[in-house]
Amino acid sequence: MGRTCKFSFHVAVVVTAIFYIYFSTVFVFIDRWFGLGSSPGMLNAAVFTFIAVVSISSYRRAIFTDPGRVPSSFVPDVEDADSPIHEIKRKGGDLRYCQKCSHYKPPRAHHCRICNRCVLRMDHHCIWMNNCVGHANYKIFFVFVFYAVLACMYSLVLLVGSATVDSHQDTEDSSRIIHVISGLLLVPLCLALGFFLAWHFFLILQNKTTIEYYEGVRAMWLAEKGGQIYSHPYDIGTFENLTAILGPKVLCWLCPSSGHIGSGLRFKTKYDALMGLSTPD
């Protein structure tokens, strides 16, 4: 399901950074180190262009893909024996009901104050995408972060390599400025995106969202305090957790267009069954 994207300053910043990194990498770093007319230059330019295209495509789809809406017909069936998990409010013990949206919230759904609606399996609201990360776009979001990290690291390697090449061209001063600006941009990006990628891979291995992780820390503390052992109810095993998010086909895990985004979320999980959702392959 698509969505209309309103203008966002943060999205404009990301798009500007992507194009700056691409053009500086291809037309400055690669050209200075190998020469665009050489075989190594054309090969590196082709590989980096492919990574950049996949990154941009993934970013666009993550922005325009609706993260998941709560079905208007959803009503929790507390007497359904096949749906043993029913999330309740932490205070009062009632079933989760969104006062702002005026309907019950399925398990793992949360209300986003920025989007002003409930989002299925909400992980967080990403200001850099002007969109929530949830049930329907989590995989494509993860794929985008992966290729963004790959592109930044690749560009940084090319930057370092081109900086070691002696050049006596007239554009040496401007080239040096581009190297400095790119270095100041790429090093923090590699560190930040690398940490972000590792964080979400850690969450995927446990079939958790960012919200559930922090809620689980408190739940674990309360369980230990009461002499009990806390267990995340949606953890179905390491490999099953991976296939639940990235899909059952391992070779397509990092493919941004492999079937319906988020379709793997229903694979061997209780989530869709609890909500009565069906997602086409």
Length of the chain: 281
Mark whether 126 is an active-site residue.
yes
User: Bridge partners of 119?
Assistant: 69, 110
CA distance linking residue 58 with residue 255, whole number of Å: 9
Sign of CA dihedral 107, 108, 112, 117: negative
Candidates 5, 98, 126, 152; catalytic one: 126
158 sits in the region (left: phi over 0; alpha: psi -120 to 50; else beta) called alpha
Give the integer Cα–Cα distance in Å for 252 and 112.
30
Specify the residue for token string 């989590």: 138
Contacts of 242-250 with C-beta under 8 Å, sequence gap 24+, read 242/204, 242/205, 243/267, 243/268, 244/207, 244/268, 244/269, 245/138, 245/139, 245/142, 245/204, 245/207, 246/139, 246/142, 246/204, 247/139
What residues are annotated to the active site?
126
